[in-house]
A and B are shown apart, each in its own frame.
Chain A
Amino acid sequence: AQSVTQLGSHVSVSEGALVLLRCNYSSSVPPYLFWYVQYPNQGLQLLLKYTSAATLVKGINGFEAEFKKSETSFHLTKPSAHMSDAAEYFCAVSNRGSNYKLTFGKGTLLTVNP
C-alpha cells in the first residue's frame, strides 16, 4: 500500500522568497517519488524524481527535493520564487508492489505575489 500527504492545499509566497512545499509518503517497500507541476490549462510536467540514487534531487526550473527516509518526506524547495512558478504542484509515489502506478497527493496550489 502507498499514500501521499501534501500539507497545505494553498501556499502563498512573495517573489524572491523561499518556496517550500511539503510531501510525506507511506510505502511498504522502497518508493519512487516524483514531483509534477501543472500550469493552468496544461498537463502534468515532471519536475524531478527520486529513484533510489542520490537523496538530494535537482529538477528543472531551480527546484530540488530531498528524500528523507527517517521522516518519510520528500519536500520540494526553491530558494527564490519567480512569478512564473505559480502553478499547482503534485507529489506522487510509486513502487514495485503497486506495479509502479502513481499515487498522488491532493496537490498544492502555489501563488507568488509581486
Chain B
Amino acid sequence: EAGVTQFPSHSVIEKGQTVTLRCDPISGHDNLYWYRRVMGKEIKFLLHFVKESKQDESGMPNNRFLAERTGGTYSTLKVQPAELEDSGVYFCASSQDGTGQPQHFGDGTRLSIL
C-alpha cells in the first residue's frame, strides 16, 4: 500500500508570504495528524483530524495556521503570513483508528522562512 505522502518536500519562502503544505494519508485511514519539529526542539503535535472533523487542535501555534481536510481525504496546512519562527519540518501521520494504533509518518516538509 502507498504510504503517507507529503508535498512539497522542501519550501523556501520569504517572511510574510503564504505557504500551503499538503498531506495524503494512507487510504482508509480516518485519523490524520500534523506535527512540527523546530530545529533543536522535539517533535510537537499540532492537530488531529478524524475524517473531515478537527478532533484536537490544541497544538496549533496561532491563528496564522489553518488546517483543512475537505472530504476526509487529503489535508492541507496553510501558514499565512509566514514568520521566521515557523521554520521547521512539518510531519503528517495517519492511523486507521484513533485508539493507540501506530501512526504512519510521511517524509515531512522542510519549511524555511527567510
Binding site for B on A (CB under 8 A): 32, 34, 36, 41-46, 49, 51, 90, 94-96, 99-107
Nearest chain A CB to B85 CB, angstrom units: 18
A43 and B106 contact, CB distance less than 8 A? yes
Whether, in the assembled complex, B74 has its beta carbon less than 8 Å from a beta carbon of chain A, the answer is: no
A101 and B43 contact, CB distance less than 8 A? no
Nearest chain B CB to A88 CB, angstrom units: 10
Instruction: Report the interface size for chain B: residues with CB under 8 A from the other chain.
Output: 26
Question: Could you mark each residue 19-44 of chain B with 1 if its beta carbon is under 8 Å from any beta carbon of chain A, else 0?
Answer: 00000000000000101000001111
Nearest chain A CB to B37 CB, angstrom units: 8
Distance of A95 Cα from B42 Cα, bound (Å):
19
A101 and B45 contact, CB distance less than 8 A? yes
Can you list 30 A-B contacts with CB-CB less than 8 angstroms, sorted by A residue number?
Answer: A41-B107, A42-B107, A43-B4, A43-B6, A43-B105, A43-B106, A43-B108, A44-B43, A44-B93, A46-B102, A46-B104, A49-B102, A51-B100, A51-B101, A94-B100, A96-B100, A99-B48, A99-B55, A99-B56, A99-B98, A100-B99, A101-B33, A102-B33, A102-B35, A103-B45, A104-B35, A104-B43, A104-B44, A106-B41, A107-B43
Given known A34-B102, A42-B107, A49-B102, contact A101–B41 (CB-CB < 8 A): no
A45-B105, A96-B100, A104-B35 are known contacts; what are 4 more A-B pairs with Cβ within 8 Å?
Answer: A90-B43, A99-B56, A102-B33, A107-B43
Given known A32-B100, A44-B91, contact A101–B56 (CB-CB < 8 A): yes
In the bound complex, residues from chain B placing their C-beta under 8 Å from that of A100 are 98-100
In the bound complex, residues from chain B placing their C-beta under 8 Å from that of A106 are 41-42
In the bound complex, residues from chain A placing their C-beta under 8 Å from that of B4 are 43
In the bound complex, residues from chain A placing their C-beta under 8 Å from that of B48 are 99, 101
Whether, in the assembled complex, B112 has its beta carbon less than 8 Å from a beta carbon of chain A, the answer is: no
In the bound complex, residues from chain B placing their C-beta under 8 Å from that of A94 are 100
CB-CB nearest in chain B for A49: B102
Distance of A100 Cα from B96 Cα, bound (Å):
12
Distance of A94 Cα from B99 Cα, bound (Å):
10
